[in-house]
Amino acid sequence: MNYLPLIALSELPENSGKSVRQGQKSIALFHYDGVVTALGSSCQHMGGDLGQGNVQKLDDGELYVVCPWHGWQYNLKTGLAPAGYLDRQAVYGVQVLDGMIFISEEPLIPGFRSVHEDDPLADLRNLEYKVTPSSLNVLGISTTNMNRDLPRPSTSESALEAALDFAATGFGASVRMIRLRDLEFRHCEGYYSRHEQACTWPCSISEMDPDDGMNEIYRAMVLWADAVILATPIRWGNACSLYYKMAERLNTVQNQITVNDRVLIRNKVASFIVTGGQDNVQGVVGQLNSFFTDLGFTFPPFNFVGWSRGWIAEDTEHNYERFNRSRYVKRSIRELVTNTMNLVIQVKQIDVSRLQTPKPKISEAGTLSQPEDNP
């Protein structure tokens, strides 16, 4: 096997690692315990640069590099993932001669990505949609938070329950309610901010933790629903914090458009219920509309029911009762559902096999070295 010169040993001090290009290849070099080792730099998972990873000793006493994108680990010498995993990073031969690091022209041990037979995310990965030409699946998402052991009345949630009831009885829809407070799910951990390809579908967190509660939202919203009705209270002029926690985790859906020009949400309708003791229904609905249109949803005319009693109405002990007695609320919920269902029926007829997505794409973005194209 030929060995080719790569870099001087002085460029790789003890206790460091870095990736270096050799022709078309990128090699991750490590210098630990007085030994230089070399792995293929592109992680078997999604291509994270191992040369930028931290190195740590695991329980088996061996040194492993931790991929900076999602934490996969590889033994610095053998390329193997820790016990229990079959994945392996390509291992190159290393010779140090006259202060120069030489690398074998080809890997001595090839890389290997194991195939997991019982992939718990296969339905999401393969986009196994549950909608059919005739389905009328309505997903209610209640974002309000409360103590499960000490529940309180919620205007937004009771309106959502009434909306789902009417969708079922008035339109024969299959309905499902998800209360975000019942799901244990992690905050978005910002993998996109490290690299656009590090924010994956299914979500990087789902891959690490198939029991993460957001998987229920992904399955229900992306694969099952024809319509989503989301209900939120107003908190300090905005939607409630659980909504934002969910929205940040939906970056995995929107990012597929940006990075891969792939639209996961098609032929789906969204409408909203926004209730607050005080004000800013329109501001909250504006935010919801902006985000849901970025995901690919379509809106019926007049796609929200709003309730607020104004700036000086701190009448919280009577608010729920007033809400429940309101003829406006009862009528507008039925009308919201009617508009939503009518649009669902029409939208399902539209061929969106190739949706136009006038959104920024990575392929069109400028870089520091290559400025954006101007018309």
Residue with smaller CB distance to ligand FES, 48 or 51: 48
Minimum separation from the CB atom of position 47 to ligand FES (A): 6
* Token representation of residue 80: 């193997």
Please report how close the Cβ of residue 205 comes to ligand FES at its closest, in angstroms: 12
Q: Of 85 and 320, which has the nearer Cβ to ligand FES?
A: 85
Please tell me whether the peptide bond between 300 and the residue prior to it is cis, using omega within 30 degrees of 0: no
Q: Which of 48, 140 has the CB closer to ligand FES?
A: 48
When the beta carbons of 200 and 303 are compared against ligand FES, the nearer one is 200
Burial class from Cβ neighbours inside 10 Å (0-12, 13-18, 19+) for residue 31 reads buried
Contacts of 258 (CB under 8 A, 6+ apart): 196, 359, 360, 361, 362
Q: Which is nearer to ligand FES, 89 or 280 (CB)?
A: 89
The dihedral sign for the CA sequence 127, 130, 135, 141? negative
Q: Are 74 and 38 in contact (CB under 8 A)?
A: no
C-alpha closest to that of 244 among 287, 296, 308, 208: 287
H/E element, 16? strand 16-22
> 20 or 43: whose CB is closer to ligand FES?
43
Q: Which two tokens stand for residue 9?
A: 């040993």
Chain positions contacting ligand FES, by CB under 6 A: 43, 45-48, 67, 69-72
**DSSP 8-state secondary structure symbol assigned to residue 80:** B
Q: How far is the CB of 110 from ligand FES (least distance, A)?
A: 18
Least Å distance, CB 374 to ligand FES, is 34
Compute the least distance from the CB of residue 15 to ligand FES, in Å: 22
- Residue number, 48 or 296, with CB nearest to ligand FES: 48
- Residue 212 tokens read as 């993460």
Nearer to ligand FES, 42 or 319 (CB): 42
Closest contact distance (angstroms) between CB of 72 and ligand FES is 4
Q: Give min distance, CB of 189 to ligand FES, in A.
A: 12
| Cβ 172 vs Cβ 136: under 8 Å | yes
Min dist. Cβ of residue 70 to ligand FES (A):
3
* DSSP β-bridge partners for residue 18: 29
Q: Could you tell me which of 40, 30, 53 has the C-alpha nearest to residue 108?
A: 40
With H, G, I as helix, E, B as strand and everything else as coil, classify residue 180.
helix
Q: Of 175, 239, 240, 251, whose CA–CA distance to 214 is shortest?
A: 251
Whether residue 186 contacts residue 209, with contact meaning beta carbons closer than 8 Å, is answered with: yes
Q: In the numeric block, which tokens belong to residue 283?
A: 């501001």
* Residue entry with tokens 């009328």: 136
> Could you tell me the smallest distance in angstroms from the CB atom of residue 118 to ligand FES?
20
CB of 45 to ligand FES, least distance (A): 3
Which among 323, 228, 317, 315 has a CA at the least distance from the CA of 275? 323
* Beta carbons within 10 angstroms of residue 38's beta carbon: 26
With respect to ligand FES, which residue has the nearer C-beta, 43 or 247?
Answer: 43
Judged by CB, which is closer to ligand FES: 73, or 275? 73
